[in-house]
Amino acid sequence: MKKKLKRSGRLVDMTYFLLQHPHQLVSLNFFADRYASAKSSISEDLTIVKEIFENEKMGYLTTLPGASGGVRYEPAVPFEEGNELVEQLCERLEEPDRLLPGGYLYMMDILGNPGMMNDIGRLFAGMYRGQNIDAVMTIATKGIPFAYAIATYLDVPVSIVRRDHRVTEGSVVSINYVSGSSKRIQKMSLARRSIPEGADVLIVDDFMKGGGTARGMSDLLTEVDAHLVGIAVLVEAQHPERLIDEYISLVRIAEVNEKTREIKAQPGNYREHLAD
């Protein structure tokens, strides 16, 4: 670009640039060069951007001083907006025509909505922002949009575990696991090169019943010498016993009555992790 812009123009472009580069450290020099402006002006611009971002709780703008310093945008969703999002999600999940045979819920309209997925992704990214995360891992197919939404706002890669083993993945590590709800033995596989050794990984699950799938993914991490940071769950169903302990869920399905077609959805355990 390298073009002299007035403050108003710089603010628009800077906001755009920071939103496109979440969790990346951008140096003052970069902006000074981009707008052919003095670093002191850029500093003032960033103070304005920071104030708006933090007052309106659109996320955090961290400024690091010094020669190697700069600014980093960390996306988040304000407390109130997060709660509204979850309420909206609960309402939609209670729609009776969502009930499928076997007590399953049709969720593809929700998972298929990129706008909603991105809001949810930003919400989770904000909750995990203090922790070091190198990658997000999920299992095909329906968890993928949810995982990408979180990974976008954390700026980390996504690794996809598969129930089948497709030829295009290269060297693969597989484990058997017991599905917590059906008690059947199943198999899951991970492309070995998709998770580097020692990586800190966030596991993502769109619908958790017994937690067997999440537990299986966590075992896969051990297998490739990576570490579990946490488990992000979109919807958890009632279940007598869970195979995992630490997770953050947005919604909990409290009751499903297949006869009356009634579904009761309530907020999950996420509130403890949402900053006021």
Alpha helix segments (H runs only) across the chain = 7-20, 28-34, 39-55, 79-93, 108-111, 114-127, 143-154, 212-223
Of 66, 115, 130, 240, which lies in the binding site for its own copies, with binding defined by CB under 8 A? 115
Least CB distance to its own copies at residue 240 (A): 21
Among 42, 58, 224, 232, binds its own copies (CB under 8 A): 58
The residues with which 6 forms a beta bridge, in sequence order, are none
Stretch that binds its own copies, among 83-91, 145-153, 212-220, 248-256 (CB under 8 A): 145-153
Would you say 198 or 269 has its CB closer to its own copies?
198
- Binding of its own copies at residue 67 (CB under 8 A)? no
Query: At closest approach, how far in Å is the CB of 90 from its own copies?
Result: 19
87 vs 169, which CB is nearer to its own copies?
Answer: 169
- Count CB-CB contacts under 10 A for residue 77: 25
Q: How far is the CB of 14 from its own copies (least distance, A)?
A: 8
DSSP 119-167: HHHHHHHHHTTTS---EEEEETTTHHHHHHHHHHHHT--EEEEBSS--G
Tokens of 180: 């917590």
Position among 102, 185, 260, 276 found at the interface with its own copies (CB under 8 A): 102
CA separation for the pair 153, 146 (Å, rounded): 12
Q: Is 261 in the site for its own copies (CB under 8 A)?
A: no
Angle (CA) 120-122-125 rounded to 5° is 110
How many Å apart are CA 238 and CA 234, to the nearest integer?
A: 13
Number of residues that bind its own copies (CB under 8 A): 59
Name the site residues for its own copies (rule: CB under 8 A).
Answer: 1, 5, 7-9, 11-13, 15-16, 19-21, 48-49, 51-53, 56, 58, 100-102, 104-109, 112-115, 117-118, 140-142, 144-145, 148, 151-152, 155-160, 162, 164, 166-170, 191, 193-194
